[in-house]
A = this chain, B = another copy of it.
Amino acid sequence: MGDFELTCPVSPAPATVQMAHGSGGTAMHTLLETVFWPAFANPLLGQQHDGAAFTLNGARMAFTTDSFVVRPLFFPGGDIGALAVNGTVNDLAMCGARPLYLSAAFILEEGLPLETLKSVVESMRVAAAAAGVHIVTGDTKVVDKGKGDGLYITTAGVGVIEHDRVIAPSAVCIGDAIILSGDIGRHGMAVMAVREGLAFESPITSDCAPLVNPVQALLHQNIALHCLRDLTRGGLASGLVEIATTAKIRLHVHEDAIPVHEDVRGACELLGLDPMYVANEGCFIAFVAASDAERALKTLGAQARQIGNVMSAHQHGQVTLRSAIGVTRIIEMLNGEQLPRIC
């Protein structure tokens, strides 16, 4: 959870929870600002977006949590179990931490086939092994039939920060290169394609994957790494706007440089969605010193691209995008509900 100032006007606050409150856009940020942050205010909350960092006995640690309510439970490239492990692993990685231990709390719906549960748990086992973490504690609750969509999973994670750097929006500098680790929009469209019954020659596969290794590689290469953000709910656009507003800077990105898989672009057009706002689960942006951009790209591999730069300070934060046809427009945070229940 971070510290935001909204750049766009917000419509009068509704009196009840809306689907848009879960979509990672302006409605969710309004909820955080008006309900959660005032009540829980403390120096660690608001320090960073993807987790809290604290020091204990000289050890710097990161701590984070996420609930997963994706519908359907299984989709090409993953399921709610893989998502629940990788989501929390990636939030720790984005704090510059090496993930160590996860908790897993299950809310099961009465009548859920045990075979479904076993299959999800097996995915979690595989994902935890791939990310090098252990699931060390857990909980199980059951809710009445009709109250739960099969199962919801909440994971929390503890990781260790094995360096002295500050990796946070506050560390971003004017001139920094913005590096994108891979093509965008696959997770959200993989889930939506199943939900909407869209057929493609080859199905769109979620990018759901742990981001521990690429981040550790950047750290080991001693890249001047200033900020990391995984591009989940709200997609690349929201990630950029969040960092711009928190750091009070202006970012400029080039649409040409942002890779989108052809099938993802097609599915987005069919559903009237902008890939810039579609969720990813294995994709992140890194802000690095311009002088280290080349080395960062080499470290992250052939899929990575420099998509833009930090241009200047800006009181409220601003993101501009130069489109493929040469028009420059302002990118806003996701407004309203675009893709509910994709994680």
Contact = CB atoms under 8 A, between A and B. Distances in A.
Interface string A33-68: 001100110101100000110101111010111111
Contacts of A114: 13-17, 31, 35
A122 interface: yes
A341 interface: yes
A17 B103 contact: no
B17 A109 contact: yes
B110 A156 contact: no
A74 interface: no
A152 interface: yes
A52 to B, nearest CB: 4
Given A15-B114, A40-B124, 19 more contacts: A15-B113, A17-B114, A22-B140, A40-B125, A40-B128, A45-B135, A45-B137, A52-B103, A57-B58, A63-B158, A65-B103, A67-B154, A69-B141, A69-B143, A105-B154, A139-B154, A141-B341, A146-B146, A154-B156
Interface in A1-32: 1, 13-23, 28, 31-32
A16 to B, nearest CB: 5
A118 interface: yes
Interface in A246-285: none
